[in-house]
Chains A and B, each alone.
Chain A
Amino acid sequence: MMAKAKSDGVAVSVLDKDGLGDFIKNLRKSGYQVFGPRRDNDAVIYDLIDGADDLPAGWGSEQKGGHYRLRQRDDGAWFGYGLGPQGWKRQLYPPRQKLFAATRTEGGGFTLAPPAPPAPPMAFIGVRACELAAIARQAKVFGDRDFADPGYQHRLADALIVAVQCGEALDTCFCASMGTGPEVKSGFDIKLTEVIDKNHHVFVAEAGTPRGAKLLKAAKPASQADIKAAAQVVKNAETQQKHLDPAAARALAANPEHPRWDQVAARCLTCGNCTMVCPTCFCTTVEDVTDLKGDNAERWRKWDSCFTSDFSYIHGGAVRTETRSRYRQWITHKLSTWVDQFDETGCVGCGRCITWCPVGIDITEEAAVITGQGRI
């Protein structure tokens, strides 16, 4: 189980651009696989980075329903790109995981191969508040119950998390409604806030764990001006265009026959993009494969989506054959039945599902209409 401390009363440091660059280099030298934002295919994604030069400096994104564009910023911000298509799920709960390998033995049996040695620890640069909340959601799904996923638990326990506070909300953000941001409060080793002024571009840094504090030991203390500027940066992100009432959204489970379901089903393509980009979606399937002779078998776990036609397949047919019932399952689980299962909502308000839905279905709008809130 992850146990990261809050950041109250901790010394505040500051790093300049070179300082952050060296910090990243040192992490790599220490043996971490460093993941951070980088530009790829006209988007900013989280992938392995070699150093600060790989960061998408000066790039921002424009996002709304069914729309994502990168655009140049005029302030050269390193972390001004908003949200990439996926959170850190790709690193912590990879799309393909080998569950086991087995080999046939004489006499009709088989033996299991010993588990693979653990991968080198990962460091994440640029984790936003909503993403920290999503990590906590998944940590509960994979850890806090009768049967845990040891893979996820190990990867998370070993990961070094360098969070970054948002300075502005995208049009699709609603973390304020969900209580998950924009301020980063917990779950990090180090928290950065990018402060940009006329000739001044620094990163105010705070440690959240002893491990983080150790890494910041050599950093200069931050000036009062920088600390004040950092606080203002986060405040700017609190103004958000979208809103969702999580308590009201609980009523989704009680409205299985609302006419709105047919309306959204007429638009939804069941493409499953929302489940792929959602940082809390955790559904997977298993695939059993053998080599040509059939002597060696492997079982792989793969990401799955409740929108696929055979997700709910039993006895010769799917339970959820219609688009209507599949969309209903996704949003009702996310906002309503997730709470019954885990005592917290499954949505962290990142808005990715809105951006990456090809037809721009807006989860905040659908939740509001179906639970009788009208359009907020």
Chain B
Amino acid sequence: MNAIPHDPMVPVPFRIEKVRRDLSDTFTMEMVPEAGGDFTFRPGQFNMLYVFGVGEVPISISGDPADRSVLVHTTRAVGTVTEALDALKPGDVLGVRGPFGTAWPVEATFGHDLVFVAGGVGLAPLRPAIYQAMAHRERFGRVIVLYGARTPEDILYKKELERWRGRFDLDVLVTVDRATGKWGGNVGVVTNLVTRGGFDPLNTASFVCGPEVMMRYAAAALEKKGVSRDKIWVSVERNMKCGCGLCGHCQWGPHFTCKDGPVFRYDTIADLFQIREL
């Protein structure tokens, strides 16, 4: 069962089972449909989450696509609706519309070295793809996660990153923009980690997610290393009111970000990144 009724503008009630605080302003919710059943999605897709009487906001799904029993969302509280989501507790009900949008092409990139480049809360929309890649680990060459956070206190999914790093078949490199002397890891932008390499650029596919500026520079760094434009994917955000191609708000050039994206192959949209106020 997917949460899309006949009318895609009507939400389906989901009940929150668990809430975990990840960072001072970021939290993860696990929820299940009130009416029961599974929720299926592809990594990179998003839902429109509705808080009763407050409003709706598009949030990427951040759980494991192989686990259909629960729907997971990691959200950062930055505005009215996300702050209202932050106030919800286990047992509360919210509305879900989705899943919407395009997916990270995990299966289509079998056979490559896979490099995930994440910035800040951008690690959340990538996590489902990381899970899916690890479930098919033998189909890839090297798998590398490059993650940039603001400070050591802002590292998202820290324990999970440590667990991933503990696997012998996954490279995890973390850097922060700022740190005090107590931090023993890398300091600097995540593009520096791209420049360091550790992957075969001629046979690499890369999924990049984070603030738009970071994605532009990360894609440029990947290209500089020799990764081909048509093997880089980014996830773009725009204003969304419906999430399903009807309201017109999310348009970016000829694309509806909600249905031609949010995941775009870089070569198809690289020129759009250059146009100011598109």
B is a partner of A: yes
**A residues within 8 Å of B by Cβ?**
99-100, 102, 104, 107-112, 115, 141-142, 145-151, 253, 256-257, 282-286, 288-290, 294, 297, 299, 301, 304, 306, 311-316, 319-322, 324-325, 329, 333, 336-337, 340-341
Say yes or no: B254 contacts A341, CB within 8 Å.
yes
Say yes or no: B239 contacts A304, CB within 8 Å.
no
Say yes or no: B15 contacts A314, CB within 8 Å.
no
Contact residue among B11, B91, B277 (Cβ-Cβ distance under 8 Å from A108)? B91
Say yes or no: B246 contacts A325, CB within 8 Å.
no
Chain A binder among B53-61, B103-111, B139-147, B216-224:
B53-61
Query: Provided the pairs A286-B56, A329-B251 are in contact, do residues A147 and B244 lie with their beta carbons within 8 angstroms?
Result: yes
Q: Does any Cβ of A come within 8 Å of B21's Cβ?
A: no
Chain B minimum-CB-distance residue to A324? B277
Q: Mark B33-62, 1 if CB is under 8 A from A, else 0.
A: 010000000000000001011111000000
Contact residue among A102, A306, A320 (Cβ-Cβ distance under 8 Å from B248)? A306
Say yes or no: B6 contacts A150, CB within 8 Å.
yes
Q: What's the minimum C-beta distance from B276 to chain A, rounded to whole angstroms? A: 8
Given contacts A112-B10, A146-B244, A288-B50, 17 further A-B contacts (CB under 8 A): A99-B7, A108-B89, A108-B92, A146-B259, A147-B4, A147-B259, A256-B275, A257-B275, A283-B247, A284-B242, A284-B248, A286-B242, A301-B9, A311-B239, A311-B249, A319-B239, A337-B253
**B residues within 8 Å of A by Cβ?**
4, 6-11, 13, 15, 34, 50, 52-56, 78, 89, 91-93, 95, 237-239, 241-242, 244-249, 251, 253-254, 256, 259, 275-278
On chain A, the residues within 8 Å of B53 by CB distance are: 288-290, 294, 297
A–B complex contacts, Cβ < 8 Å, 24 sampled:
A100-B9, A100-B10, A109-B93, A110-B93, A115-B7, A147-B4, A147-B8, A147-B244, A147-B245, A147-B246, A257-B275, A285-B249, A286-B9, A288-B56, A289-B53, A294-B53, A301-B9, A304-B249, A312-B238, A315-B78, A319-B277, A320-B277, A325-B278, A341-B254
On chain A, the residues within 8 Å of B52 by CB distance are: 102, 104, 110, 297
On chain A, the residues within 8 Å of B245 by CB distance are: 145-147
Chain A minimum-CB-distance residue to B88? A108
Q: What's the minimum C-beta distance from B122 to chain A, rounded to whole angstroms? A: 13
Most buried by B among A289, A301, A314: A314
Query: Provided the pairs A149-B246, A288-B54, A320-B277 are in contact, do residues A340 and B254 lie with their beta carbons within 8 angstroms?
Result: yes
Most buried by A among B8, B248, B249: B248
A182 and B246 alpha carbons, distance in the complex (Å): 29
A320 and B275 alpha carbons, distance in the complex (Å): 11
On chain B, the residues within 8 Å of A333 by CB distance are: 251
On chain B, the residues within 8 Å of A110 by CB distance are: 13, 52, 93, 95
Query: Provided the pairs A150-B6, A341-B254 are in contact, do residues A286 and B248 lie with their beta carbons within 8 angstroms?
Result: no
A337 and B252 alpha carbons, distance in the complex (Å): 10
Q: What's the minimum C-beta distance from A266 to chain B, rounded to whole angstroms? A: 16
Say yes or no: B246 contacts A282, CB within 8 Å.
yes
A107 and B52 alpha carbons, distance in the complex (Å): 13
Say yes or no: B91 contacts A107, CB within 8 Å.
yes
